[in-house]
Structure 1
Amino acid sequence: MSIRPEDRYFYPIDWRELSAEIRFRRAGGACEGCRRPHGRMVYHLGDGRWWDAEIGAWRDGRGKSLAGLPTLDDLTGGLRTTRVVLATAHRDHDTANNADANLSAFCQRCHVNHDRPEHQRRRWRTLFRRRALGDLFRGIYSP
């Protein structure tokens, strides 16, 4: 994921090199959440299950091999393809904490799932502030 221009100053100057080190050296070019390989098109069912062509098996959303195969309905109704792109994520959402243990290489799906609680918290805070400003300066808040 690219960094928004207004957030660039929160990251260290060597972020590209640090990110590449985490994604390709430490993680070996695969997501640390589900093991999807960087840069490849993968078939998936939209619920986390995906086809790993290297081992010839289906994996779940955590990278474990599935015990049972997806049903025919799953395959005919929901089979999709996605190009996997790895990004480096901060586990604690603090961009100043660039310790090796705080950084993870995640694909798009795992990164969004990891960030979901933080995004919900920020969204609530933004709406709360807007409502408070409306109450202070514009009278009754109108959505």
Structure 2
Amino acid sequence: MPIRREHRFFYPIDWPQLSAVIRFGRARGRCEACGRPHGRFVYHTGDGRWWDDAADVWRAPDGTVTVVDISAGFARVRRTRVVLAAAHRNHDTADNRDANLAAWCQRCHLEHDRPEHRRRRWRTLFQRKAGGDLFQGPYA
């Protein structure tokens, strides 16, 4: 995932090379959580289940083989391009140990970061509200 300009100084100068080693060296171009291949388009049901072309099976969000009832219709099946990203398991961008870095597809990365994103969103809204109370008076 792209790094925001204001967050770039949190990452080491060799982050692109470190990320490539994790994503393509250690993980061999596949998500370490679900097994989706980097750069490929996969069909998925939206709830994490996806079609593995190489094995001709449907896979669950954890990468295990599962069953999908396609009689419900193909309207719910979508096609998405998989992009791998190097992620920090503990959300600390200064901790670049191998054990703390993971190669995850965009879905697994967002699932992992969801609680942190909620926390940051709450903090941002809380700060805005506090600033409004301090400088503009209480909200109606």
TM-score, normalised to structure 2, is: 0.96
Query: Once the 2 structures are TM-superposed, how far is the Cα of residue 137 of structure 1 from its aligned partner?
Result: 1.3
Tell me the residue number matched to 1:59: 59
Aligned to 1:110, what secondary structure does the other structure show? helix
Query: Once the 2 structures are TM-superposed, how far is the Cα of residue 76 of structure 1 from its aligned partner?
Result: 1.9
Question: Which amino acid counterpart does residue 71 of structure 2 have in structure 1?
Answer: L
Structure 2 counterparts to residues 3-82 of structure 1, below 5 A: 3-66=3-66, 68-73=67-72, 75-82=73-80
Structure 2 counterparts to residues 61-140 of structure 1, below 5 A: 61-66=61-66, 68-73=67-72, 75-140=73-138
Aligned to 1:111, what secondary structure does the other structure show? helix
Displacement over 3 Å in runs of 4+: none
Distance 2:36 2:69 in 1: 18
Aligned to 1:109, what secondary structure does the other structure show? helix
Q: Where does structure 2 lack aligned partners over 5 or more consecutive residues? A: none
Distance 1:71 1:9 in 2: 47
Q: Where does structure 1 lack aligned partners over 5 or more consecutive residues? A: none
TM-score, normalised to structure 1, is: 0.94
Alpha-carbon RMSD across the aligned residues, in angstroms, is 1.1
Work out the number of aligned pairs and report it.
140
Aligned to 1:61, what secondary structure does the other structure show? coil
Give a deviation string over 1:7-53, Cα, whole Å, max 9, x none: 11000000000000000011110001110000101111111110001
Question: Which amino acid counterpart does residue 2 of structure 2 have in structure 1?
Answer: S
Distance 1:129 1:58 in 2: 44
